Structure 1
Amino acid sequence: MEKRHFRPYIQNQIVLFPERVDKDIAEDDPVRFISAIVDGLDLEPFKKLYYTMGRSPYHPKMMLKVIIYAYMNNVYSCREMEKRLLRDTHFIWLAGGEKPDFVTINRFRNRVKREINEIFTQLVLLLAERGLISLDVEYIDGTKIESKANKYTFVWRKNVERYRSNLMEKLRVLLQQVDDVIIQDQQAKPEVVEFTPTELTSIVEELKEALDKEPAPETKEAKAEHRKRKKQIKTLEEHRDKLAEYDQRLDQLGKRNSMSKTDPDATFMRMKEDAKGKGLAKPGYNLQIATENQIITDYALFPNPSDTCTLIPFVESFQERYDHLPTTVVADAGYGSEENYRFMDESEMDAYVKYNYFHQEQRPRYKNNPFLPEHLYYNA
């Protein structure tokens, strides 16, 4: 019988001279491109985020390479990055054999949120220097990203304003019952002044102090009156806390009409993708992206559900980032409005932006309809 021979298989063999980690990584592999790009960036702003005392931290250049390459491979979990740093040759080579845990990776990611924006700008400018893009043309489009917040944690501005107005009326009635002097002071003023949580706190303290100074009630009627006043003061405290909550909600809303309790930055808007097909409003963000030659050159998040209101601030953010406006703007009909056209005309931009009714106006039934307001004869 013929004998078979196999290659030696020794799991725990000892190597005298260790091999290079990157010997099996191709020269044109994207991981080498990422490493070279980050090596050429100015990471001086990152140094101010670290303390001069204590244990030496991981190098920010190494951490940035690992996170960028992980995102490039659709890996967003810090725990998954930690695993890759232990068993993936590409990650091991990028990290130089360092093994930061998932907590360290997450802390670094949260710490450098603002600095990452500057790194993005540096990278785009580097591509412009190499001639890959010109930064003169902006192809703009947006997409809505659903928040991880619960969709039933909505807060609507109209409801908050209505509840707050009703609460103010309850406060005036309650204060009139508790102390006539307070309500007389309010009526003596030329305009009705709304109460603030701070003012209500001082009023509650005054009422408590006055109630404590009174002698202990002896008769049944006096005890009932004493309990009634204590209950009124407690109700006043509850109204004060509710008023503070409404004021906080209005501050968080800003100019928006809605928000989520668990994610105050998210605004309720209708998403394109809905499994049930009902078009329900969900908490989310309107992400605007500008590209040129298939390379992202700018991005920004907006609370506006419609794209029309985002064009001007988005183009202005491009100017803040690169110190000049684009000469050409290309966008779909969702960005067409008189205000946007005027802005692009005054900024001397070539606007390739349709308006909402552009395609409808090309139809024969629209052109031949003499009863539309647009087709009526205007007699000056």
Structure 2
Amino acid sequence: MAYIQGQARDQTSLFPVSLEDLIPEDHLVRVIDAFVAKLDLIRLGFDKAVPKSTGRPSYDPADQLKLYLYGYFQRIRSSRRLEAECQRNIEVMWLLNRLKPDFKTIADFRKDNKQAFSATCRVFVQFCRTVGLITGDLVAIDGSKFQAVASSRRHLNVKQLKRQQEKLDKRIVQYLAELDEADKAEAGETIDRSAIKTALEQLEARQLNNLTCQALMKSMGIEQFNTGESDARMMRTPKGPRVAYNVQTAVDAEHCLILHHDVTQDGNDTQQLEPMAKAAKEQLQQSELSVTADAGYSNGKQFQACEEAGITAYVSPNRAVNPRSKEKELFEREDFTYDAQQDQYRCPAGKLLTLKQLNKGERIYHAAISDCSNCPLKGQCTDAQRRYVSRHAHEEAFERMEQRMQANPEMMVSRRSIVEHPFGNLKQWLFGNGRFLLRQCEGARAEMALAVSAYNLKRAINVLGVRRMMELMG
């Protein structure tokens, strides 16, 4: 039995096949085309949205935006690969009407419209909210590290510079000693004094450069700096320390659509709950909002700020562990009763602990030495002369958070199912576990805006279908 045969390459036809005939009615490129057609590119701030009356005509920013949305949808981020797709991909030919911009034009469009991409992302979020894909009943917040363009070999930090300085000082002392030995050497011995002097000059130049870097970083108030990308920071990732950015997302629980995102330089998430929750609330245009996040967002000041803004947060409190003896269990802070009116703690033995000092936002209370020395419960309380108890400046906010979490233990399970899904897609499907292509925070934000737009677009198509999306956009 013969195989299925295709048409001969030199076969001709009376009526050539058009691109319109090759693209199905329910193809995703039709959604991209319809979405971009509805955008007000001038209001969004796209460069060259108004064509000039003189000079060589430029490419329509709408066509280039279609190309990038399609590229990020298909895991194609390189401008050279997008140029190749314009020449061989029928879907791109249909989308761009057979336009073939070169890679430099494609790359410049992404470089020159960084703010406009973020605005476009917000417009699609508002569209999803209008058609009911986003309800705003519950929002999950999470962060993940995405590797920057810069190499870790070009990264400097104060501790590293100080270690290098110590090594350079030792080597300079060694070379100076060798020069002294050369001066004392007998005439018969041959010591290359010029070579030692040249090496010493090179070490002194490196030492001066090191000290200059330390002085500059101290004057700028920074602990680390990357010479290839000043905004990037060394962060802990599952693959070890990497030069990266901390990407934050706020995801709606209804269909796991990303409401808001941001690219930050913070190595952890402790300062991100309030800004992300407020941004999500503003995007939803709601007077109240419920958000959930993991223990990495535990921060009493942030809890208090969210409550004052009408945001109900569900975060696992991450508290400091009470000091323990190696041989026995000691009384926990919860075993002490706090009197808010007197601002005092009462220990299990009935003795009072008074305020001693304030330490970085914490209030430190201690008992009298005489009370502890004569206490029959001292062996269960402390091994020191007296017992100390610390109280956070926003302890009441922590207590209210603990009560909410005890009443709603399912929130952590919901958080995982909501927010882990988008990050998994962004890393595997869009970035392919790669790194950003653009440098600095602004460039990383532009790339993330395109990636989030592509993710939300794909998610909306999966929920509604192409035909329904076309109807709603029409």
Q: TM-score range by the shorter chain?
A: 0.5 to 0.7
CA contact 1:302–1:310 (8 Å) conserved in 2: no
CA contact 2:158–2:214 (8 Å) conserved in 1: no
CA contact 1:156–1:259 (8 Å) conserved in 2: yes
Instruction: Specify whether residues 36 and 92 from structure 1 end up closer, same or farther in structure 2 by C-alpha distance, changes over 3 A only.
Output: same
Match of 1:262 in 2: 228
Does 2:143 align with 1:142?
yes
Deviations 1:37-59 (A, max 9, x none): 11111111225577724211111
2:65 maps to amino acid: L
Match of 1:191 in 2: none
Does 2:268 align with 1:306?
yes
Give the 5 Å matches for 1:231-242. Answer: none
Match of 2:178 in 1: none
Match of 1:41 in 2: 39
Match of 1:129 in 2: 130
Give the 5 Å matches for 1:307-326. Answer: 307-318=269-280
1:125 Cα shift?
0.7
CA contact 1:318–1:324 (8 Å) conserved in 2: no
Instruction: Specify whether residues 326 and 31 from structure 1 end up closer, same or farther in structure 2 by C-alpha distance, changes over 3 A only.
Output: farther
1:349 Cα shift?
1.3
Match of 1:170 in 2: none
Instruction: Specify whether residues 140 and 7 from structure 1 end up closer, same or farther in structure 2 by C-alpha distance, changes over 3 A only.
Output: closer
In 2, Cα distance between equivalents of 1:256 and 1:314: 24
Match of 1:75 in 2: 76
CA contact 2:47–2:113 (8 Å) conserved in 1: no
Give the 5 Å matches for 1:1-380. Answer: 9-12=7-10, 17-44=15-42, 45-47=45-47, 52=52, 53-135=54-136, 137-157=138-158, 249=217, 256-272=222-238, 274=239, 279=240, 281-292=241-252, 293-318=255-280, 327-356=289-318, 370-376=330-336, 378-379=345-346, 380=352
In 1, Cα distance between equivalents of 2:162 and 2:282: 36
1:157 Cα shift?
4.6
1:289 Cα shift?
0.8
Instruction: Specify whether residues 282 and 325 from structure 1 end up closer, same or farther in structure 2 by C-alpha distance, changes over 3 A only.
Output: farther
Identical-pair percentage: 28
Instruction: Specify whether residues 351 and 145 from structure 1 end up closer, same or farther in structure 2 by C-alpha distance, changes over 3 A only.
Output: same
- SS at the partner of 2:141? strand
Instruction: Specify whether residues 296 and 256 from structure 1 end up closer, same or farther in structure 2 by C-alpha distance, changes over 3 A only.
Output: farther
In 2, Cα distance between equivalents of 1:261 and 1:57: 35
In 2, Cα distance between equivalents of 1:333 and 1:259: 28
Across the aligned residues of Structure 1 and Structure 2, the Cα RMSD in angstroms comes to 3.6
CA contact 2:250–2:277 (8 Å) conserved in 1: no
Instruction: Specify whether residues 335 and 9 from structure 1 end up closer, same or farther in structure 2 by C-alpha distance, changes over 3 A only.
Output: closer
CA contact 2:71–2:82 (8 Å) conserved in 1: yes
- The structure showing larger relative contact order (alpha-carbon pairs under 8 Å, at least 6 residues apart) is 2
TM-score of the two chains, using structure 2 as the length reference = 0.54
Matched residues, number:
290
1:317 Cα shift?
3.9
In 1, Cα distance between equivalents of 2:16 and 2:221: 62
CA contact 2:161–2:210 (8 Å) conserved in 1: no
1:137 Cα shift?
3.6
1:85 maps to amino acid: C
- SS at the partner of 1:352? strand
In 1, Cα distance between equivalents of 2:288 and 2:84: 43
Deviations 1:226-265 (A, max 9, x none): xxxxxxxxx9xx97x98876665457xx665323121111
Match of 1:192 in 2: none
CA contact 2:291–2:311 (8 Å) conserved in 1: yes
Instruction: Specify whether residues 257 and 8 from structure 1 end up closer, same or farther in structure 2 by C-alpha distance, changes over 3 A only.
Output: closer
1:301 Cα shift?
1.2
CA contact 1:138–1:330 (8 Å) conserved in 2: yes
Instruction: Specify whether residues 54 and 326 from structure 1 end up closer, same or farther in structure 2 by C-alpha distance, changes over 3 A only.
Output: farther
- SS at the partner of 1:308? coil
Instruction: Specify whether residues 135 and 54 from structure 1 end up closer, same or farther in structure 2 by C-alpha distance, changes over 3 A only.
Output: farther
CA contact 2:49–2:60 (8 Å) conserved in 1: no
CA contact 1:137–1:326 (8 Å) conserved in 2: no
Instruction: Specify whether residues 326 and 30 from structure 1 end up closer, same or farther in structure 2 by C-alpha distance, changes over 3 A only.
Output: farther
Match of 2:366 in 1: none
Deviations 1:254-286 (A, max 9, x none): 6653231211111111112x2xxxx4x321111
1:320 Cα shift?
6.2
- SS at the partner of 2:274? helix
2:228 maps to amino acid: T
CA contact 1:49–1:111 (8 Å) conserved in 2: no
In 2, Cα distance between equivalents of 1:287 and 1:256: 21
Deviations 1:268-326 (A, max 9, x none): 11112x2xxxx4x3211111011112111111111111111122233344466666676
CA contact 1:289–1:298 (8 Å) conserved in 2: yes
1:9 Cα shift?
4.7
- SS at the partner of 1:152? helix
Instruction: Specify whether residues 319 and 74 from structure 1 end up closer, same or farther in structure 2 by C-alpha distance, changes over 3 A only.
Output: same
In 1, Cα distance between equivalents of 2:5 and 2:299: 72
